[in-house]
Structure 1
Amino acid sequence: MNESSSFTTSQSLLQQIASLLIYQSVFDHEVGQVFISLLKTLSKDFNNNDIFTAPKAIAPRTALDCLQVYGYWFRTLAAHNQSWQDYLITQILLDHNPFTQQIQTTPLEKLPSALIDAVKHDLRILQQICQYDSKYLSKWVQVASQSAFTPISWQLETSLATFLHHHHDWAEAISDLANYYCQHGTGIFAQYHALRWQEGKLLGISNPDLVELTTIVGYDLQKEALIKNTEFLLAGYPALHVLLYGSRGSGKSSLVKGLLTKYSQAGLRLIEVSKSELKELPLIVEQVRNLPQKFIIFVDDLSFEEDDDAFKALKVVLEGSLTAKANNTVVYATSNRRHLIREFFSDRPKLSDNDEVHAWDTVQEKLSFSDRFGLTLTFEPANQDTYLQIIKHLAQQANINFPQEQLEFRAKQWATRHNGRSGRTARQFIDYLKAELAITQSD
């Protein structure tokens, strides 16, 4: 390889990237941007003028800049711990563009032929670019910089066993690609199964609390009802909004989180919304309304003060308005209060000239707000039998080999000295006991 061939090839790759019609944003991320910067550096005619204008962050001036930009390229791949092929394919699978957006609701054969042709055009370009990994670029950099050594190339085994790897021509994989987008979604909804609404936008949760439904015992009827309602949602049938209320530490929140662990591959997504953000609930619903995935809007520890704007926003979502109900979205809320709006004795009607004429109607609206949830699941405080049942179940799952009588005795002591009998207390005790036994056995 000589300087002329690397110069020509890098120019050609830049032209192909510039000619992308649908998948341009594949290169918007850090690795893609450094890849383009490196190609621009390599395509610089050091004897004349720049062929392409480099980004402000990396403005090549000499052949030595090739080594520096290649260092950025190596470091960004190492930071993502992916091969170039895996990174590029991941971006293709996550990309949010007119094709990936429309294919989720429209059959492939009904999309405009021009859109299909553009996708095939882009896939062929991306397949060619995918072949030029760190090994090729390392050699080009050595030639361009006239270095005495070949820079180390970032090499990892390709781990994404996708259909793209199995097609000689990626354009022929468009049907499989369409099925993938329909099943997994695109953009943030493909990358994350758990999200939160914060400051007016959805943010992905990289490390969600993965709860297994099998760890939640003692409330089997409540679990069965919630699972059945969630399966209605996933199957496309009308599902009910759910209020889970009752004793603290009984596993209400864990039960909702466990649904995501069980059904995320079936298209379920969980959106956590804090009470302070509830006023934007209608906006959240509109943002996900037309997506094929199914969404649980999760509100933990729900309660309201009087004249709370969040109360009005939630009421619109629960009861509906002129806008049609979103069939792919339900609200699951947990609370320690059966009556979600705080009521004071001063709220009760009094006989005076200044009182509201129909004051009892206002009181009843407050007390009946929880009835607007279609399904209310009650979590009673755990009695001793239920508490010990949870202890035994968690101990078995944690592979704790401990005499039964001693286990029960210590569990009762723990509940007395700490937070009382509950699923949360049982989990804390088992975690403590597991760590204690592990340290004892290691000594």
Structure 2
Amino acid sequence: MSQDSPSSNEALLTALHRQLERIAHALETATGTAAVSFPEDAPAYRWERRQGPFGGGRLVPIENPALIRFDDLRNVDRQRQAIERNTRQFVAGRPANNVLLTGARGTGKSSLVKACLQAFHDEGLRLIEIDKEDLADLRQVVALIRQRPERFILFCDDLSFEEGEGGYKALKTALDGSLTGAAANMLIYATSNRRHLLPEKMSENLEARPGENGEIHPGDTTEEKVSLSERFGLWLSFYPFTQDDYLRAVDQWLRYFGFSDGEAAALRDEAVLWSRTRGARSGRIAWQFARDQAGRRS
């Protein structure tokens, strides 16, 4: 019975080693654990999730993001001062908080975050937009930017979770629950119409009674929900506009489009009618009215 020579055994081991390396690389790519290079510098990025069962993704540069100036916003002076101060501390390398902006629709929550990028981009601030469905990839995003010299705001717009969704656990970990800690050069800014990000039920206030699903301590569920929003160090609340607030916003945006003060004043009745047909008053509706008027005049 012949024996293989040492040289043939060595060649076989080498071939097996190379095959294992190829398999490992393929698995890393499929599961999203392979190293992802940071793209070219841009003002903002969007996290794009890879299609497939294993998740993972990449940062896609946004060369010309839609920005807004702080001075273009009305009726949010207190909120503006707080988020501007917090962001200035952050870009200067001083302690700063993650921010949760909650409240009425169209009142300037997302616009304030975009205004932060416009104001502090030249000082090294960058924005990464991520959908709530992709929050499971937060660990990859953090690993990708941790050693970068820039300062990053991870922006999740219109954030809320329904019963059974698991993305909030990844968000809790990224905020301050991980043993490795959050990246020193990253903050999370999120907007939501829900104060605690998760649906709340009347039964959750009945601590003394068992839950409808047989839960002995329904109050523990409430604590779990509240604990997510409490991990944001800075809460900013936004409220519906009064008619005067709305008309001031209309005047601001009409002047932005080149209308004179007299022309803006003459359009106030139309602006009020516009808001009534929409059933609400907000900065967004004021902006839409001004765009409509500017388009007609052009």
Same fold by TM (over 0.5)?
yes
Residue matched to 2:152: 295
Question: Does residue 1:206 correspond to 2:63, yes or no?
Answer: yes
> What is the rounded CA distance, in whole Å, between the counterparts of 2:213 and 2:224 in structure 1?
20
1:193 to 43, 53, 71: 43
Q: Max radius of gyration: which structure?
A: 1
Identity %: 42
User: Given residue 243 of structure 2, which amino acid in structure 1 is its aligned partner?
Assistant: Q
Q: Find the aligned partners of 2:181 and 2:196 in 1 and give their Cα distance.
A: 27
Equivalent position amino acid for 2:283 in 1: G
The residue aligned with 1:279 is 136
Q: Distance in 2 between matches of 1:282 and 1:329?
A: 12
**After superposition, what is the alpha-carbon deviation per residue over 1:216-263, rounded to whole angstroms, capped at 9, x for unaligned?**
111011011101111111000111010001110111111111211221
Question: Is 1:400 paired with 2:251?
Answer: no
What CA deviation, in whole Å up to 9, does each residue of 1:329-353 have, x standing for no partner? Answer: 0000000111211134566664489
Does residue 328 of the first structure (1) align with residue 191 of the second (2)?
no
Partner of 1:383: 242
Q: Which residue of 2 is the match for residue 412 of structure 1?
A: 272
Alpha-carbon distance in structure 2 between the residues aligned to 1:435 and 1:359 = 54
Deviations 1:14-46 (A, max 9, x none): xxxxxxxxxxxxxxxxxxxxxxxxxxxxxxxxx
Counterpart secondary structure, 2:199? coil
Alignment TM-score, normalising by the size of structure 1: 0.54
Distance 2:243 2:213 in 1: 51
Q: Distance in 1 between matches of 2:195 and 2:38?
A: 38
Provide closer, same or farther for how the CA distance between residues 353 and 304 of structure 1 changes in structure 2, counting only shifts above 3 A.
closer
Preserved CA contact (<8 Å) 2:251 2:265: no
Equivalent residue in structure 2 for 1:231, among 88, 92, 100: 88
Residues 349-394 of structure 1: CA distance to partner in whole angstroms, max 9, x if unpaired?
6448983443312222213421211001011001011111111122
**CA separation of 1:389/1:337 partners in 2, compared to 1, >3 Å: closer, same or farther?**
same
> Could you tell me which amino acid in structure 2 is paired with residue 311 of structure 1?
Y
* Structure 2 counterpart of 1:55: none
Aligned residue identity for 1:226: I
Structure with greater helix share of residues: 1
SS in 1 for 2:100: strand
Compared CA separation, residues 354 and 297, structure 1 to 2 (3 A): closer
Task: Indicate the SS of the match to 2:241.
Answer: coil
Q: CA deviation at 1:415?
A: 0.7
User: Relative contact order (alpha carbons < 8 A, sep ≥ 6): 1 or 2 greater?
Assistant: 2
Q: Structure 1 residue runs of 4+, over 6 Å off?
A: none
CA distance in 1, matches of 2:107, 2:129: 19
CA distance in 2, matches of 1:385, 1:409: 12
Does structure 2 retain, via aligned residues, the 8 Å contact 1:245–1:252?
A: yes
Give the gaps of 5 or more residues in structure 2.
1-36, 50-56
What SS class does the counterpart of residue 196 from structure 1 fall into?
strand
Establish whether residue 431 from structure 1 lines up as the match of residue 294 from structure 2: no
Are the equivalent residues in 2 in contact too, given 1:296–1:329 (CA < 8 A)? Answer: yes
Larger mean CA deviation between 224-233 and 390-399 belongs to: 390-399
Q: 1:37-74: per-residue Cα shift (whole Å, max 9, x none)?
A: xxxxxxxxxxxxxxxxxxxxxxxxxxxxxxxxxxxxxx
**SS of the residue aligned with 1:385?**
helix
Alignment size in residue pairs: 252
SS at match of 1:269: strand
Q: Decide whether the 8 Å contact of 1:246 with 1:380 is kept in 2.
A: yes
Whole-angstrom distance in 2 between the partners of 1:267 and 1:354: 50
Pair 1:324–1:353, CA change in 2 (3 A): closer
Task: Write 1 or 2 for the structure with the bigger share of strand.
Answer: 2
More off after superposition, 305-314 vs 372-381:
305-314
